[in-house]
A and B are shown apart, each in its own frame.
Chain A
Amino acid sequence: MRAYTPKDDVQAKAYYTDRYYVAPQVPKSEVETDEVFAADLAAIKARFEVKEAYIQVEQMVIFINPHDIYGVLELMRDELAYTQLSEMSAIDWLAKDNTFEIFYQMLSMTKRKRIRVKFFINNGEAVDSVEKLFRSADWSEREMFDMFGIEANNHPFMKRILMPYDWQGHPLLKSYPLEGDEFAAWYEVDKIYGKEAREAIGPEIRDTARVDRYDSERFARLGFEVPKGTKITGDEPRNSQEYQEEGGVFLIKKYTKEASTIVDDPQR
């Protein structure tokens, strides 16, 4: 029996989800249906343990043991002609079973084939760096460390790549809020002005739909502008929107609409 979920706030949600929704699965096929992949898989299986292998969207996906990754990629590069590491990163499955899924997307230019090598590691474990095999892994592994906190052993420069060095937290984790945690919210204020400036500068206003015509700190009513911080009563004088003072400016010719010409040819 399905667990009961309250449905009185269904309309308040930003996105509608079907009660009977089943996520679509991309169909998988056997590796034997492609002879190139079958030969590759046999070559890998001869030396390493392959837990699972299938073909999905014309690409072979294989699951291996975490400690085999350097050997598998070396074999693929030197003997199977998969000479490019297009991409590598991690997938956060911490909520499901406290693991990360690491993937390496390999490309063979001569065979015109792609293989995705995958394995699972537990939370807190490190992976072996493949930077010695593929230079592209250098920045990818740094990014993986930056975004997920997964370190790569034997990496020459295991530091953050996108976020500042003194950042706390790993933003691509599913547990990390999109709008940032406490540290992120005050990062620039703490760093530049110090924690004692928090009160003077104030918290971030993140409600993008917020419009308050009585707030003269952050909003101005066009044509009725007042100095910042003025209490708005509703009978503000009208400000003209002209960009030049009445009577012209010293040494500058006064702009008059009558004397000006409007160019309406867009190809002028």
Chain B
Amino acid sequence: MAQHKVNYTQDGGLPVALTSIDKIVNWGRSNSLWALTYGLACCGIEMMASGASRYDFDRYGTIFRASPRQSDLMIVAGTLTKKHAEFIKRLYDQMTEPRWVISMGSCANTGGMFNTYATVQGVDRIIPVDLYLPGCAPRPETLQYGVMLLQKKIRANKAGNAQKPKRLM
């Protein structure tokens, strides 16, 4: 019969941690934020850099997924054109709840420098946004800081509240 190597009474106590459901659910959610691969313009390059080895998003449990059905987080990285607006709404609707949105960069926040007929003047006209990142484009550090702030926001709320669908109107 196999012998347990771990002596719990000697190695710092029993392997038991007491917590509340809220905390453990939020711990799970905030540390496995799977993001939708959604680079719309040049901010997408910074988003890719954040996912690559130098900045290494995997450390936060943020793994880019190619399907909205597997994603919790939508990082709108780039200019949203009016032609594409219906598709961002469709992709957002396809994500399972709870879901969060980061608006990355000036174009996604307000339309940015594209004060033209073809650009949506801020993605919050289409979908509800949790976090706005300033910059043109924001550096990967900014995106990482934004994800950490979002993690803090997730942990600050009751776990059940995240199930309530957010509505733009």
B26's closest neighbor in chain A, by CB? A250
Q: Is the interface of B mostly helix, strand, loop or mixed?
A: loop
B156 to chain A, nearest CB (A): 8
Establish whether residues B82 and A184, one from each chain, have CB atoms under 8 Å apart when the complex forms: yes
Interface presence of A1 (CB below 8 A) = no
Q: Select A180's contact among B23, B85, B117, beta carbons within 8 Å.
A: B117
Rounded to whole angstroms, the CA-CA distance of A252 and B59 in the bound complex is 12
B132's closest neighbor in chain A, by CB? A220
Name the residue among A178, A200, A250 with the largest chain B CB count within 10 angstroms: A250
Interface size on A, residues (CB 8 A): 30
- Contact segment of A18-26, A83-91, A189-197: A189-197
B54's closest neighbor in chain A, by CB? A268
> In the complex, what residues of A have CB within 8 A of residue B17's CB?
250-251
- Contact segment of B33-41, B63-71, B95-103, B147-155: B147-155
Known: A200-B169, A250-B27. A208 touches B110 (CB 8 A): yes
> In the complex, what residues of B have CB within 8 A of residue A244's CB?
148, 152
> In the complex, what residues of B have CB within 8 A of residue A251's CB?
17, 27
Q: Select A188's contact among B24, B85, B110, B113, beta carbons within 8 Å.
A: B85
Q: Is the interface of A mostly helix, strand, loop or mixed?
A: loop
> In the complex, what residues of B have CB within 8 A of residue A250's CB?
17, 19, 23-24, 27
Q: Select A164's contact among B83, B110, B149, beta carbons within 8 Å.
A: B83
A109 to chain B, nearest CB (A): 34
A220's closest neighbor in chain B, by CB? B132
> In the complex, what residues of A have CB within 8 A of residue B19's CB?
250
Establish whether residues A177 and B148, one from each chain, have CB atoms under 8 Å apart when the complex forms: no
Interface presence of A224 (CB below 8 A) = no
Rounded to whole angstroms, the CA-CA distance of A252 and B151 in the bound complex is 12
Establish whether residues A249 and B82, one from each chain, have CB atoms under 8 Å apart when the complex forms: no
Q: Select B115's contact among A192, A193, A208, beta carbons within 8 Å.
A: A208
Interface presence of B145 (CB below 8 A) = yes
Known: A201-B168, A251-B17. A188 touches B155 (CB 8 A): no
